[in-house]
Amino acid sequence: MEFNHFLTSYMPNVNIGSKVHFENMLKESVLAEKCGYATVSIPEHHLINLLMMPSPLQMAVKIASITKKINITTGIVVLPIHDMRTYAGEVTTADILTDGRLILGVGRGAFPWEMERLGTPIETSKEKFVESLEVLQLLLKDKEVSYQGKFYNFESITIMPRPISNPVQMMVAAMNLESIKDAASRGFHVQSTVLSGNKELLLSRVNAFKEGCEILGEKGKLLKLSMQRMAYLAKDDNDAKEKIKMAHGYYKRFDNMFTGPGKVKSGSVEPLPRKQSVEELKDNLLICTLNEMIDKLSLYAESGVDEVILSSSFGQSQNDLEQSMQRIGENIIPYFKKSNIKVA
C-alpha cells in the first residue's frame, strides 16, 4: 500500500499571506518525496480559504520543477466549471512540463456555495461532469474531435500541444457504490473516502471498485483505488488530543461548505457548530499515535486499498505538520512497504 500527501491548503489565518502559504505547500511536496510518499495531491477550490487552490495544474508544474520522481495528482479538478476545449490544452501542457508525472483527478464538485457562484449549481453538475469527462477524454486521445451534446457542440478541432503520456492517467472521485463501480469499469483510477471509521463502509467501496475492475478484465488489474483520510501521526497521547480538537475546528468550516449553508465572509469560511463531539470525531480520523495508526491503516491494506491519501493540515503549525510527515516517513511508510499483509 502506498501513501499520498494531500496538500490541504487550509489557511484559517489569512494574515499569513498567500505567498508564505504556497511556499509551505511546496516545502511539503519536497519533504513528501524525501520521506517516501509515492504521490502528492493538489485540490481545486475557488473563492474561499478552505482547500484553497484556484490553479492546481500550475501548482503541479511548479512541484515537478523542484522534485525528481514523486507523482503529482490533482485531487480533485472540478471539471464542470472548465471549458474542455481550452482545459484539454492546459492538461497536455502540464503533462509535458511534469515529464508525465501528472495524474489528472477529476470530479463534479462538492461545495454547493462555490458551484452556484461559478455558474454550475451542484444539482446539475453531475450531468455536465459526465459530458465534460467524455469530451476531455476524446480531446486528449484523438487528433480530430467534433462533438454534439447538451453542453458542448463544436466542429472538428485538434488540441495542441499533444500530450506525451499515452494516455494521460485519469482518476475519478466517487462516493456512492454505483459511481465507484462505473468509474473502474470504464478504466479510471478511483478516489473515494469514508467519512467515518466504519469497516463495512470501507469494504463496500473496495468491493464496488473490484466489481468494476472485473468488468474491465485484464486492464482492470492496472487500476488503483485511493482512499482519503484526515491523518496526523502524534508524538504522544497529549499531542493527539490537542490535534483532534484542532481538527474539530477544521470540520466546523468544512461542514459549513459541504453540507451546511455556506456562510463565507470576505473569502473566509465561518466555523459553525457541529453535532458531532470531539470524542466522536476521534474515532473517525487517523489522528493518533503510532500503534493505533498502524492498526487502523492495516484494515485498509487488508481490504485491498492501493493508496491512502493523507490530508494532514487542519490548523496546526507548519512545524508540527512537517514533523508528522517525517514520523510517517520513518515509521508508517516502511511498515506497509515491508509487511506481508494479506489482501482479503
Average pLDDT per run of 10 along the chain, which is 344 residues long?
96 90 97 98 97 97 98 98 98 98 98 97 96 98 97 98 96 97 98 85 96 96 97 98 97 96 96 93 94 96 97 96 98 89 64
The per-residue pLDDT for 195 is 75
- What dotted CATH number matches 2-338? 3.20.20.30
Say if residues 71 and 94 touch (Cβ distance below 8 Å).
Answer: no
pLDDT of res. 289: 98
Q: What is the pLDDT of residue 14?
A: 87
Confidence at residue 343, expressed as pLDDT on a 0 to 100 scale: 67
Task: Round to whole Å and give the CA distance between 102 and 90.
Answer: 12
Domain ranges (residues) in the chain = 2-338
What is the spatial distance between Cα 6 and Cα 248, in angstroms, rounded to a whole number? 18
Q: Which single residue is written with the C-alpha cell 478504466? A: 187
What pLDDT score does 198 carry? 81
**Which residues lie closer than 8 Å to 191 by C-beta, 6 or more apart?**
75, 76, 105, 171, 172, 173, 174, 226, 227, 228, 309
Q: What is the pLDDT of residue 344?
A: 60
